[in-house]
Structure 1
Amino acid sequence: MKTFLVTAVCAVGIFSISPASAQNIEIGPGGPSVDFRSRGERERDIERQEMRRDRAIERRREYRREQELRRDEDDED
């Protein structure tokens, strides 16, 4: 009986530590997910995503400007 009690206490201790190490728990359309990254790592990833998005937007704007310039040149000929 003592062995069972010690095992049960150890198991409860291990399982109670696991959720405490989770940094972020989200429940979304794909089901629940646990993010083990720290706040700084998540913020850095968000900044990277924003930079990539901004670069993609700027590339699209440049492409549209080039297309407009080409159309204007073709209209002049």
Structure 2
Amino acid sequence: SVSVSISGSAEILEGDSVTLICSSDSNPPALNFSWFKEDESSSVGSGQSFSALQSGRFYCEAHNQHGSQRSDAVT
């Protein structure tokens, strides 16, 4: 499964950034991570961590050679 955890304060205040961390327990391990904002089709970031500069609902996708899995969205 794939999950997103929030590093630091769980509440995003205007002007603050919050770091989101994507973790996957897939086997074989995930090689790539992509970040998306709900309602937007294009990726907003990549890598295992992502700094969200605006409020919204974000989720990550973890990719390995078998395909991809997405996490639940976090606000």
> Which TM-score applies when normalising by structure 1?
0.20
| Structure holding more strand per residue | 2
Q: Rg larger in 1 or in 2?
A: 1
| Structure holding more helix per residue | 1
Q: Which of structures 1 and 2 has the larger relative contact order (alpha carbons within 8 angstroms, sep 6+)? A: 2
